[in-house]
Homo-oligomer: A and B are copies of this chain.
């Protein structure tokens, strides 16, 4: 089939012949028409239209040593976090004329090489949202001068690779501050995200800082595993309830976990927030649909994706990027924490 195709598809030579110019000229009108005489441009464009010519992308890449596609490596395509992030990246890429190549790494095999398709020859740069790529591989690419930007994770020791994420720590701290100061809770639990997840790490840090600032003890038994996953979180809550753990409020780590917590609590016949308050993080659409509506922290997930794409493209084209972009977050007060106002309240909105 490809044989036939290549016979049917016009090349730059066909266009040149029909327009009565050299292929160099056709190439110029493709890349920068201003350097070509207007009449010539017109003739060439007519020929392109008549033949329905489309330049061969791989040939352009090879000849120009430039490619207009960026790669995205991530570990998992799921959850409500993923769509806005990807939408942001895609928008950022498209605005600058770049295409997006996606590669999801199976979770099991951590620490691997770059798949050839995302390699330094196929892609102008790489967005990394996973830790299942070996530090050595990141280092190798970095030493090659291959542009990379990290999303929601930090660079391997000693490598100055730009990172984009949002204010997890401050957001979590303010959220817990609110629970303590405005709601009067003392025994507040925290559910961790997946092992090694840096968003989770900083949220936990914010949680701890808030407790410490208020001279409350950080109780190990109040820190459980939620995995940023509804069912995992529900499972932890079921266990806690069985054990008769005494908690006033649960900071579920993210909204997905919070949804699981809410379900588990309801299933046990407990009322939210009367019996136990629940709060999340991210403010994904889901959080509004929970009953009661979820108090959470609004995270600019889409903007982070967008910024990451922009930084990467800047790195590719100009050679520079912000070392660290930390986007602000805002606490969103809804009913699940004990608030009784009709409307949601945004704390710290400017």
Q: Which residues of A line the B interface, CB within 8 A?
A: 1-6, 8-9, 52, 54-59, 61-62, 65-69, 76-80, 82-84, 86-87, 90-91, 94, 99-104, 115-122, 140, 144-146, 230, 259-260, 262-263, 266, 285-286, 288-291, 319
Q: A63 to chain B: closest CB distance in Å?
A: 9
Taken together as a complex, chains A and B put the C-alpha atoms of A47 and B8 apart, in Å, by 40
Contact partner, A83, options B61, B78, B122, B260, Cβ 8 Å: B78
Among candidates B54, B104, B230, residue contacting A121 with C-beta atoms closer than 8 Å = B54
In the complex with contacts A65-B6, A101-B101, A145-B5, A120-B78 CB distance below 8 A: no
4 pairs of A and B residues whose beta carbons are closest in the complex? A57-B122, A58-B61, A291-B291, A99-B117
The answer to whether B101 and A99 touch across the interface, beta carbons within 8 angstroms, is: yes
The residue in chain B whose Cβ has the minimal distance to the Cβ of A290 is B289
Contacts of A288 in B (CB 8 A): 230, 263
> In the complex, what distance in Å separates the CA atom of A62 from the CA atom of B64?
13
Complex Cα distance, B3 from A103, in Å, reads: 27
Copies of this chain assembled into the complex: 2
Q: A90–B145 Cα gap in the complex (Å)? A: 28
Assess the A77–B69 pair: CB atoms within 8 A.
no
Q: Are A9 and B57 in contact (CB under 8 A)?
A: no
**New contact pairs (5) apart from A1-B145, A9-B120, A90-B104, CB-CB < 8 Å:** A56-B121, A68-B117, A78-B84, A79-B83, A290-B291
Which B residues are in CB contact (< 8 Å) with A101? 69, 99-102
The answer to whether A62 and B65 touch (CB under 8 A), given A56-B121, A104-B90, A288-B263, is: no
Instruction: Decide if A104 touches B87 in the complex (CB within 8 Å).
Output: yes
- Find chain B residues with CB under 8 A from A91 CB: 104
- By beta carbon, the residue of chain B nearest A272 is B291
Looking at the complex, which one of B59, B65, B119, B285 makes contact with A54 (CB distance below 8 Å)? B119
Task: Determine how close the nearest CB of chain B comes to the CB of A225; give it in whole angstroms.
Answer: 19
Compute how far the CA of A58 lies from the CA of B63 in the bound complex, rounded to whole angstroms.
10
A86→B90 CA distance, assembly (Å): 14
Please tell me which one of the listed residues B56, B104, B286 contacts residue A289 in the complex, with CB atoms under 8 A apart. Answer: B286
Nearest Cβ on chain B to A120's Cβ, whole angstroms: 7
Q: Is the CB of B99 within 8 A of A115?
A: yes
Please give, as numbers and ranges, the residues of chain B lying within 8 Å of A54 by CB-CB distance: 116, 119-121
CA distance A77 to B259 in the complex (A): 22
**Contacting A87 at CB < 8 Å: which of B2, B78, B84?**
B78
Among B8, B57, B83, contact of A117 (Cβ-Cβ < 8 Å): B57
| A54 CA to B262 CA, complexed, in Å | 50
Q: Verify B291–A121 contact, CB threshold 8 A.
A: no
Q: How far is the CA of A5 from the CA of B65 in the complex (A)?
A: 10
Q: How far apart are A89's CB and chain B's nearest CB, in angstroms?
A: 9
Given the contacts A77-B86, A289-B286, A291-B291, A66 and B121 also touching, CB distance less than 8 Å:
no
Q: How far is the CB of A169 from chain B (nearest CB, A)?
A: 27
Q: Which residues of B contact A66 (CB under 8 A)?
A: 2
> What is the CA–CA distance of A57 and B67 in the complex, to the nearest angstrom?
11
Bound complex: CA A291 to CA B335 (Å)? 15
- Which of B84, B121, B140 makes the CB contact (< 8 A) with A52? B140
